[in-house]
């Protein structure tokens, strides 16, 4: 059996640096170009950065938690790392593509693995028109903002805004309002992952809105479209005992 070639990346935190030194002394790290798998040491934020870096490069990512929550990371251990990686389950993630048009007419695109969020920029609430696949579904959402979340991101900002947690293989997107004022009783929607969501900012001069794809922010937008990029692949590896589905279930019944 061929030896597994790994490339180790670590965050700048003391815990991640210590883990890097420990792993590097046990397992040789080759260059990223020659590696079969990228081992990521850090928290969810660092994992997200590396996911963006390796989008569509066909390099499986195996994360080990040296941060806080570590929802998308495996438990840290130095034992039998090559065997753990070989036995891990692979999940193929697809990012969202955000296309934002600003008040000055500039168009900017960005990718999101977790979510695309629209947020008011001032004390004035945002007023958004929402269309799905070109059909207006909500003519006016008066709110602090709105989120389009992937299954991978549904336990992040989306959950904090009381959005639903999505199983990683659900083929759905969560459309979740943030502090909706009108209509008060609209709590969001579940959408097929191939749907295109378009937001039009109403009265954008008086009620300015910014749009953010993960950590890429565009200010003073007048329209934003969001769609999944199914042709872009990001393979992520999970230990069988990590049981991502079980963690998702536990999150939904957490006190």
Mention the CATH class of domain 96-228.
Answer: mainly beta
| pLDDT higher than 80, residue 250 | no
10-19, 63-72, 201-210, 222-231: which has the minimum mean pLDDT?
Answer: 63-72
SS3 158: helix
CA nearest 188: which of 136, 130, 120? 130
pLDDT above 90 as % of the chain: 84
68-82, 122-136, 138-152, 199-213: which has the minimum mean pLDDT?
Answer: 68-82
Catalytic residue among 11, 44, 214, 239: 44
| pLDDT higher than 90, residue 52 | yes
Instruction: Locate CATH 3.40.50.10330 in the chain.
Output: 6-93+233-252
DSSP-derived letter for residue 52 is: H
* Known active-site residue 44: yes
d(CA 22, CA 19): 5
Instruction: Locate CATH 2.60.200.30 in the chain.
Output: 96-228
pLDDT at position 1 is 39
pLDDT at position 169 is 83
Mean pLDDT across the stretch 115-120?
A: 98
16-30, 184-198, 229-243: which has the minimum mean pLDDT?
Answer: 229-243
CATH fold, domain 6-93+233-252, is: Rossmann fold (3.40.50)
Question: From residue 60, how far is each of 15, 95, 126, 203 by CA, in Å?
Answer: 23, 15, 39, 44
115-129, 144-158, 184-198, 231-245: which has the minimum mean pLDDT?
Answer: 231-245
CA nearest 147: which of 174, 112, 113, 180? 174
Question: From residue 135, how far is each of 78, 116, 171, 181, 199 by CA, in Å?
Answer: 52, 20, 21, 23, 11
Mean pLDDT across the stretch 97-119?
A: 97
| pLDDT higher than 90, residue 246 | no
């Amino acid at each position: 059996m061929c030896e597994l070639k790994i490339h180790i990346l670590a965050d700048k935190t003391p815990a991640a640096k210590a883990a890097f030194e420990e792993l590097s002394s046990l397992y040789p790290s080759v260059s990223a170009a020659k590696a079969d798998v990228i081992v990521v040491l850090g928290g969810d934020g660092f994992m997200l950065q590396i996911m963006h870096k390796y989008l569509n490069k066909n390099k499986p990512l195996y994360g080990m938690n040296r941060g806080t929550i570590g929802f998308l990371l495996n438990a840290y251990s130095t034992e039998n790392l090559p065997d753990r990686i070989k036995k891990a389950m692979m999940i193929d993630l697809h990012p969202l593509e955000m296309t934002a048009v600003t008040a000055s007419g500039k168009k900017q695109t960005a990718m999101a693995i977790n979510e695309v969020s629209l947020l008011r920029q001032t004390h004035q609430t945002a007023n958004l028109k929402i269309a799905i696949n070109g059909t207006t579904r909500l003519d006016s959402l008066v709110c602090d903002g709105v989120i389009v979340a992937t299954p991978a991101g549904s336990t992040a900002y989306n959950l904090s805004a009381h959005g639903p947690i999505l199983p990683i293989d659900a083929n759905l997107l969560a459309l979740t309002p943030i502090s909706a004022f009108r209509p008060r009783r609209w709590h969001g929607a579940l959408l097929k992952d191939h749907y295109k969501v378009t937001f039009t900012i109403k009265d954008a001069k008086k009620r300015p809105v910014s749009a953010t794809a993960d950590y890429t922010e565009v200010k003073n937008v007048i329209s934003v479209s969001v769609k999944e990029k199914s042709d872009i692949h990001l393979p992520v590896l999970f230990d069988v005992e990590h049981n991502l589905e079980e963690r998702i279930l536990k999150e939904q019944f957490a006190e």
